[in-house]
Structure 1
Amino acid sequence: MAMKNEQDFNRTALTVQLNRAWYTGQRAERIPGGLIGLVGPDCTALDLSYNNLVSVTGLKEFIHLEELVLDNNCLRDLNTLPRLPGLTTLSVNNNKLSDIENALDRIKECCPCLRYVSLLGNPGSPDQLTDPNSNDEDDYERYRHYAVHVLPSTLKFLDSRPVTGKERREAKERGRFMKMVKVNLPDVSALTSEEFSAAVEGNRQQSNSNFLQRVAKNNPDYTPLPKSIRGPSELKSAYGKCRYRYSGKNSEGNRFISNSDL
C-alpha cells in the first residue's frame, strides 16, 4: 500500500530543495498521498499551484509547514484546510472561493500565526482584478477592514499590500460591520432593447403585485380602487382664461407665447 501511495503522482514533477517543495502544473485534484513520504515531515514550504485541487485534506501530514501556495486551483471553499499552527504565509489566489467570509473564518481557526495572506482573483473577493465592472476601490477597502478584523492579529500583509496601522485601528472599530454582500443580478448584456424593456416592465409589475399581496394579507379590506364614484357635478376642474402670465428668469419658452394665446 505504501508503494502505491508513493507512485500515485508524477514524481519527476516534484522538486525538493532543503525543506522546500514544489509540485505544480500536474492537474492533481487532491494532494498525493505519497508526497509527504518523499518531501519529509520537516517540510516548511510547499507550492501546489496550477493544479486542479478541490481538497487540501492531505496537508494534515505537513505539521511543520510555514509557507503554503495554492494559487490557480479549483478550491470552492477551505473547509478541508487542516490546522497548521506554524503557518505564516498562505496564498490562495485565483481559485473558486465564493464565500470569502467562511474562508476567512476557516483561516483564522486553522492558522493562528499567519502574517501573509492573499485571496485575490476569487469570485467572492471584491478586488478589481476579479470583476472590475462590479467592484470598486471602496468595496475592496471595506473587505480589507473586515478581513483584518477577522484574521489573527499577527497579520502583516494582505493581498497586494501591507496592513497599515490606520487600517488596523479602523478594523478594530468598524471591521465587524463591513461584511461583504453579493447581489446576483441577471445578465442583461445579451438582451435587445425591446427584451430589456420587457424585463424591466415585468419586474415592475411583479413588484407591484407582491406589494399588493402583502397589503391585502395584512388588511383584507384593502382595495386600490376608490371607495366611491364622483358624479360630473363633483369634478374640481375649471376652464377659462387666466389673468396671470408666469414670467420666470429661466422660462425661455414664454417668449413664444403671445397675449392672444392666454
Structure 2
Amino acid sequence: MEESHVNVSALSFEKNRLSYCGQDCYKIPPTLWKMYGAKVLQLDLSYNNMETLKGLEHFTKLQELILDNNKLGDSINFPPLPFLRTLSINNNQITDLEGFINKICDCFPSLSYLSLLRNKACPNELSDRDKDDSDYQRYRYFVIHTLRNLQFLDSRRVTFAERSEAITRGQFMRVRRPPDDQLDGPKVPVTTAYQRPLPVDLASLGKHRGAYGKCNYKYTGKHSEGNRFIVNSDL
C-alpha cells in the first residue's frame, strides 16, 4: 500500500483511540500523526507489516501501544513516551531480549504492561519448541528485574514472589540465543496471527513455579561407546 495514502474505511478514531490495522503498512502513515498525533491516548497498528516506528514521537500523550503481528525486529527504535503504560508487541521478529528491554526501559518509564509472546526473545513453546517453563521463568525474572514498574508480563500478573526473586537474581538470568545458523533441527513455522492476551486469566495468578537444578544423565544401553576410552591400566 502506498504510505502517503490512508484507507479511510480502515481507520477508526473514537474517544482518543486510533486504530489502523491490516493495511500492509511498513511504517506509520504521516497522515495519522499529522491529524491525530496530539490527541491519541491508545494506538493500535496491529496486523500490518511495520518495520519502523518513525513518526511515533508525534504521539506525545500515548498511554497504550498495540503492535501485534508486524515485522518489527532488533533494529527497532522507540522515542521517549513518558506516559506509555501498555506495550503489546506479540508475533514480531525480536530476538535480542536484553537490547530490547534496555530500549523500552529508557523510553517508557511508566510501563506497567508488556507482552512479547511469539517473539524469539520470549523463550516458550510458542516461539521455540525446545524451550520449557524454566526458560520462560528465567526470562520473566530478567524482565521484571529491569522493568521495575511492570505489573503484567505477557498473559500473567507479576507476583510478589517473582518480584522478590527478580530483585536478587534477575540480573543473572539473561536469556541468550545462538545465531539461527547454529540451531540444530527443523525450524518450527510461526503463524502470522496472534491475539493480544487480554484479559488476563486471574485464576492462574501466582500458581506458576520455575524449576531449577542439575540433571545427571547415565547411559546404560548395550551399545555404549564409553569402553573405547578405558585403557589397560584402568582394568
- Pick closer, same or farther for the CA change 1:77–1:9 going to 2, 3 Å: farther
Matched ranges for 1:9-28 at <5 A: 9-28=6-25
Matched ranges for 1:118-197 at <5 A: 118-131=115-128, 133-151=129-147, 153-184=148-179, 185-188=182-185
TM-score (normalizing by structure 1): 0.67
- Which among 89, 92, 96 is matched to residue 92 of structure 1? 89
SS in 2 for 1:21: strand
1:113 matched to which residue of 2? 110
2:62 matched to which residue of 1? 65
C-alpha root-mean-square deviation of aligned residues, in Å? 2.2
- In 2, Cα distance between equivalents of 1:108 and 1:40: 23
1:32 matched to which residue of 2? 29
- Pick closer, same or farther for the CA change 1:40–1:104 going to 2, 3 Å: closer
SS in 1 for 2:55: helix
1:103 matched to which residue of 2? 100
1:80, distance to aligned residue in structure 2 (A): 1.8
- In 1, Cα distance between equivalents of 2:55 and 2:167: 35
Residue 78 (structure 2) pairs with residue 55 (structure 1): no
- Pick closer, same or farther for the CA change 1:26–1:19 going to 2, 3 Å: same
Is the CA contact 2:82–2:110 (under 8 Å) kept in the aligned structure 1? Answer: yes
SS in 2 for 1:16: strand
- In 1, Cα distance between equivalents of 2:141 and 2:9: 43
Is the CA contact 1:78–1:103 (under 8 Å) kept in the aligned structure 2? Answer: no
TM-score (normalizing by structure 2): 0.74
Is the CA contact 2:84–2:111 (under 8 Å) kept in the aligned structure 1? Answer: yes
121-130 vs 173-182, greater mean Cα deviation? 121-130
1:40, distance to aligned residue in structure 2 (A): 4.4
- In 2, Cα distance between equivalents of 1:146 and 1:39: 36
- In 2, Cα distance between equivalents of 1:58 and 1:83: 12
- In 1, Cα distance between equivalents of 2:186 and 2:171: 35
Structure 1: any 5+ residue segments left out of the alignment? 191-235, 237-262
1:124, distance to aligned residue in structure 2 (A): 2.1
Residue 77 (structure 2) pairs with residue 75 (structure 1): no
1:188, distance to aligned residue in structure 2 (A): 4.4
1:189, distance to aligned residue in structure 2 (A): 5.0
One-letter code aligned to 2:119: N
Deviations 1:127-182 (A, max 9, x none): 22111x2100000000000000111x221000010000110010000000001122
> Which structure dedicates a bigger proportion of its chain to helix?
1
1:68, distance to aligned residue in structure 2 (A): 0.3
SS in 2 for 1:68: strand
Is the CA contact 2:141–2:166 (under 8 Å) kept in the aligned structure 1? Answer: yes
Is the CA contact 1:20–1:45 (under 8 Å) kept in the aligned structure 2? Answer: yes
One-letter code aligned to 1:36: W
- In 2, Cα distance between equivalents of 1:70 and 1:16: 17
- In 1, Cα distance between equivalents of 2:5 and 2:87: 26
Q: Give the length in aligned residue pairs.
A: 186
- In 2, Cα distance between equivalents of 1:66 and 1:134: 35
- Pick closer, same or farther for the CA change 1:65–1:51 going to 2, 3 Å: same
Structure 2: any 5+ residue segments left out of the alignment? 188-232
Is the CA contact 1:78–1:106 (under 8 Å) kept in the aligned structure 2? Answer: no
